[in-house]
């Protein structure tokens, strides 16, 4: 065992287990199948954090014979400008969203600034509707008015890692959500 493994096994507290996430992903997939089955839909993953959740979600959807088109965006928010919320698009969607039903899939809704910006941005591309699905919702941290359409778990004000969520680009690969304690 490397020193790195030892550190995370010792100090990370599991908040949401792998088993609980798997169960939730199945439940969400069933709801999404009901909403999107038979429609021309595009699921937009938000890099990097949303990639694990999106991958698991769409693989569940094959059970419902639902095969959404998949695209990704990458956004960045400037450090230290949390109150003004300066968001930049690093990578935009590449598919034409005209007349498509769009679902944004991300790891976590925190202040809500990034996803509010993205929702407005994608809505301007001629989509029929743009909805939002997040695995985690830190409801108490919201700074702007945005309500997710699909939520896995509401969590408190912890800094969490795993299942796509990172600390300095690491720990995205954990199959569970853990509270990062440094
Ligand atoms: P916001 O909702 O605009 O404040 O930004 C949400 C983004 O901040 C998420 O997509 C994550 O990339 C990041 N983020 C927020 N909370 C956490 C956390 O607890 N762990 C890791 N990243 C987080
Ligand atoms: Mg993110």
> Nearest ligand, CA of residue 108?
1
Integer Cα distance of 129 and 159 in angstroms: 31
**pTM of this prediction?**
0.92
Cα separation, 25 vs 91, whole angstroms: 26
State the catalytic residue, choosing from 71, 110, 129, 149: 110
Instruction: Give pLDDT tens digits for 107-147.
Output: 999 999 999 999 999 999 999 999 999 999 999 999 999 99
Q: Does the C-beta of 111 come closer than 6 Å to ligand 1?
A: yes
Residue to mutate, 15, 49, 87, ligand 1, most ligand atoms under 8 Å from C-beta:
49
Q: What is the pLDDT of residues 34-74, one digit of tens each?
A: 999 999 999 999 999 999 999 999 999 999 999 999 999 99
Residue 92 annotated in active site: no
Backbone φ/ψ region at 63: left (φ over 0), alpha (ψ -120 to 50), beta: alpha
147 Cβ neighbours under 8 A, 6+ residues apart: none
**Pocket probe mutation, ligand 1, options 48, 72, 108, 168, max atoms within 8 Å of Cβ:** 108
Ordered domains of the chain (ranges, CATH): 17-155 (3.40.50.2020)
Predicted confidence band at 11 (pLDDT cuts at 50, 70, 90)? Answer: low
Question: What percentage of the chain has pLDDT greater than the value 70?
Answer: 90
């Amino acid at each position: 065992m490397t020193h790195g493994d030892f550190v995370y096994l010792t100090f990370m507290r599991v908040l949401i287990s792998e088993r609980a996430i798997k169960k939730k992903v199945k439940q969400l997939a069933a709801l999404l199948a009901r909403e999107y089955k038979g429609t021309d839909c595009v699921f937009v993953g938000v890099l990097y954090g949303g990639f694990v959740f999106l991958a698991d979600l769409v693989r569940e959807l094959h059970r419902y014979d639902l095969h959404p088109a998949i695209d990704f965006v990458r956004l960045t928010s400037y450090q230290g400008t949390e109150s003004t919320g300066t968001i930049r698009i690093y990578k935009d969607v590449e598919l034409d969203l005209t007349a498509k039903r769009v679902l944004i899939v991300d790891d976590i809704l925190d202040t809500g600034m990034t996803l509010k910006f993205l929702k407005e941005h994608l809505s301007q591309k001629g989509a029929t509707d743009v909805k939002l699905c997040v695995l985690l919702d830190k409801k108490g941290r919201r700074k702007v008015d945005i309500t997710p359409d699909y939520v896995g778990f509401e969590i408190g004000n912890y800094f969490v890692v795993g299942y796509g969520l990172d600390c300095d680009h690491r720990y995205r690969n954990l199959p569970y959500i853990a509270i990062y304690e440094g």
